[in-house]
Amino acid sequence: MSQVDELLRNKVSYLADRASDEDIAISTRIRLARNLNGLPFPSAAAPEQFRAAAEAVAEAVERKKLLGGGAFRFDLETLLPLDAEVLFERRLASRELLRRETGAAVHVSGDESLAVMVNEEDHLRIQTLKPGFQLEAAWETIDELDNRLSAELDFAYDETLGYLTACPTNVGTGMRVSVMLHLPGLVLAGQLNQVVQGIAKLGLAVRGIFGEGTDNRGNLYQISNQSTLGESEPEIIARLKRVIEQVITHEKNARSNLLEHDRCKLLDLVGRSYGTLRHSYILSSEEALKTLSGARLGVDMNMFSSLDIHTVNELFVAINPAHLQKLAGRTLQGAERDIFRAQTVRELLRRTGSN
């Protein structure tokens, strides 16, 4: 059994447990960009320098067991393309890391709540992922890991500027904080654009499910900070928290208004979504995410007697192309994959007794 096969036996960390406001806030992620003194940034590094960075990080992480027992190490050079896609779909590796040909690696804790990408845009991208809206807890977790790593590795740091990074927008704290929100109420009420414009005016970014450059499928939006210089980590987190709390309130109000004033429109969305999931024989990735969004909204608003959030979360992962092909045990082409996706969804709903 490969390490990726072992990983697939886990529940995805950010969908594993219920947390405060998990009906709207799906997950919280914090990433820290760090670079090693004495080595050029990855954009200017030679192959032997990529390998030197990878070896230094691996030695620190593994010798000190910084990610705990049962941690995984994935070297992208030797990983099968399909297995690499699994890491991307589980939000453990970025698309840029997967494109790196030399020295790319990712170290992952046994429960997937912590990860260290090596030789992406920076030498290290340290990450924590937690379910729901847990900004303070996420910061405590990643700050501890960052401190332990900095005791083993010499990070590039300037007393005036802070942490030095490949991209100038990350200089300073090197921190990107994001919360993934499920916002079907605002979309259905036609209020989302207004909210997004307000967020942008506050200097925050709104991106799709897999971050920068991805679309907003499934009514899933990541809201994150853009500036990392001139504010401390707690200040960045506090500012983002205030905005996220307001967006959550707007989404709750939109759902309540739809239930009170446009109930049929809401019920039709939920009903059609569930009907598509339960009875389709061809299901694309885009349609699957869209209908799972509607089903999740119904679960959040207590419209189902047996469909629960754990089943919906399992489906959110299972419908992804690489996960489907790992489940099938073979490569699936586009049309064949859509058929197998529909079959997988039907069987899971049937097995859990959802009706």
Dist CA 259 CA 253 (whole Å):
10
Confidence band for 211, pLDDT divided at 50, 70 and 90: low
Q: Is residue 210 part of a domain?
A: no
52-111 confidence digits (pLDDT tens): 999 999 999 999 999 998 999 999 999 999 999 999 999 999 999 999 989 999 999 999
Confidence band for 331, pLDDT divided at 50, 70 and 90: very high
Confidence band for 2, pLDDT divided at 50, 70 and 90: confident
DSSP 8-state assignment for residue 344: H
Do both 267 and 178 map to the same domain? no
Average pLDDT, the chain: 93
Do both 275 and 156 map to the same domain? no
| Residue found under tokens 């419209």 | 303
| Other residues' Cβ atoms within 10 Å of the Cβ of residue 5 | 11
Q: Is residue 88 part of a domain?
A: yes
Do both 171 and 65 map to the same domain? yes
DSSP 8-state assignment for residue 20: T
Domain boundary among 147, 182, 217: 182
Domain boundary among 151, 182, 213: 182
Do both 151 and 298 map to the same domain? no
297-316 confidence digits (pLDDT tens): 999 999 998 899 989 999 99
Q: Is residue 206 part of a domain?
A: no
Is 57 in contact with 107 (CB distance < 8 Å)? yes
Q: Is residue 61 part of a domain?
A: yes
DSSP 3-state assignment of 168?
A: helix
Do both 41 and 172 map to the same domain? yes
Distance of CA 56 to CAs 72, 186, 226, 263, 292, Å?
16, 47, 29, 58, 42
Is residue 19's pLDDT more than 60?
no
DSSP 3-state assignment of 73?
A: strand
**So what's the pLDDT on residue 210?**
55
Please list, residue by residue across 170-181, b when 16 or more beta carbons sit within 10 angstroms of its beta carbon and e when fewer do.
Answer: bbbbbbbbbbbb
Q: Is residue 247 part of a domain?
A: no
Do both 274 and 149 map to the same domain? no
Dist CA 117 CA 74 (whole Å):
10
> Nearest CA to 178 among 210, 147, 202?
210
Domain housing 283 = 263-351
186-199 confidence digits (pLDDT tens): 999 999 999 999 99
What is the pTM (predicted TM-score) of this model?
0.92
**So what's the pLDDT on residue 217?**
78
Do both 36 and 151 map to the same domain? yes
**So what's the pLDDT on residue 193?**
93
Domain boundary among 122, 148, 182: 182
Do both 21 and 169 map to the same domain? yes
Distance of CA 302 to CAs 12, 194, 266, 298, Å?
24, 28, 13, 6
Dist CA 182 CA 221 (whole Å):
7
| Residue found under tokens 């997988």 | 344
Is 235 in contact with 124 (CB distance < 8 Å)? no
Do both 158 and 300 map to the same domain? no
Name the strand (E) or helix (H) holding 275. Answer: helix 263-279
The mean per-residue pLDDT over the stretch 169-186 comes to: 96
Do both 150 and 288 map to the same domain? no
Q: Is residue 305 part of a domain?
A: yes
Q: Looking at residue 50, which CATH number applies to its domain?
A: 3.30.590.10
Do both 153 and 290 map to the same domain? no
Q: Is residue 315 part of a domain?
A: yes
Do both 52 and 155 map to the same domain? yes
Name the strand (E) or helix (H) holding 128. Answer: strand 124-131
Lowest mean pLDDT among 3-7, 99-103, 168-172, 216-220: 216-220
Is residue 212's pLDDT more than 60?
no
Q: How many domains does the chain have?
A: 2
Q: Is residue 93 part of a domain?
A: yes
Exposed/middle/buried for residue 202 (C-beta within 10 Å: 0-12, 13-18, 19+): middle
